[in-house]
Copies of this chain bind each other. A is one copy, B any other.
Amino acid sequence: MRSIEPSDDRTTSARIRDAAIRCFATDGVAATSVRAIAAEADVSAGLVIHHFGSKDQLRVACDEHVAALIREVKGSAMAAGAGLDPLASMRSFSGGPPLARYLAKTLVDGSPHVAELVDEMVNDAVGYIATGVEAGLLTPSDHPRERAAILTLWMLGPLVLHEHLERLIGFDITGDLAGDPEGAGSAYFGPVTEILGGFFTDTTKELIHEAFPDAPKQTTADKEELA
């Protein structure tokens, strides 16, 4: 069950934890048995419990480890100016743990560690977007936090729904971008960029403004004085 491992210098509990992360990322937490994790790590089921106490505690350890890894890659990605795609840095790179797939499976079953991670992503997005607005690259908003939250969920949603995304436009958002067939990635990022450039026309925005006069008007004509 294990992949080839020439001179694995990880400690046994680290190997078990990594095996669990792989299993959870593939099948989900609930559908993964302790015995399956044990088999993936080439140990007995009892040893898994011996090291982590229970499946629940092992899951917590996995959550924390994945969160730590993501914070790590996020740090270097921010330094490199990755910015608006929080997934960019955590896509499966060969050899490393499948961070994106793990997130895809665990975003929906209410782990507090994952929730914390999402909150951090939103905070990061708020900062990034504020910078972009000041630089005149992004439109300003009256509800920056809410807008950042929605944009973050719009990046995470297709990750959770990656099966549908792949069926619909043939792009595997969880995978390595290097191994991406020609054009599949741009079939996703292209339209995303297009939509973020503007989906409603000014006509529509005028109509919306008339329908909801309390909301501040924001057509392209107003952008400069608003910014």
**A residues lining the B interface (CB < 8 Å):** 30-31, 107-108, 110, 115, 118-119, 122, 132, 136-139, 141-143, 145-147, 149-151, 153-154, 156-158, 160-161, 163-165, 167-169, 187-188, 190-205, 207-208, 215, 218-220, 223, 227
The smallest beta-carbon distance between A225 and chain B, in angstroms, is 13
Query: Does more than half of chain A's interface fall in helix, strand or loop, or is it mixed?
Result: helix
Q: Are A108 and B191 in contact (CB under 8 A)?
A: no
Which residues of chain B are near A108, meaning CB under 8 Å? 108, 160-161, 163
Instruction: Given the known inter-chain contacts A136-B203, A150-B191, A204-B137, please indicate yes or no for A164 contacting B118, CB distance below 8 A.
Output: yes
Copies of this chain in its oligomeric complex: 2
Q: Are B218 and A197 in contact (CB under 8 A)?
A: yes
The smallest beta-carbon distance between A67 and chain B, in angstroms, is 15
12 contacts between A and B (CB under 8 A): A107-B161, A108-B108, A136-B203, A137-B203, A143-B194, A147-B195, A149-B169, A150-B195, A153-B161, A154-B157, A157-B161, A198-B199
Q: Given B119, B141, B160, B194, which contacts A194 in the complex, CB threshold below 8 Å?
A: B141
The smallest beta-carbon distance between A31 and chain B, in angstroms, is 7
- Which residue of chain B has the shortest Cβ distance to A109 in the bound complex? B28
A207–B197 alpha-carbon span in the complex (Å): 12
Q: Are B158 and A161 in contact (CB under 8 A)?
A: no
Q: Are A160 and B163 in contact (CB under 8 A)?
A: no
Which residues of chain B are near A147, meaning CB under 8 Å? 191, 194-195
- Which residue of chain B has the shortest Cβ distance to A143 in the bound complex? B191
The smallest beta-carbon distance between A217 and chain B, in angstroms, is 10
- Which residue of chain B has the shortest Cβ distance to A207 in the bound complex? B137
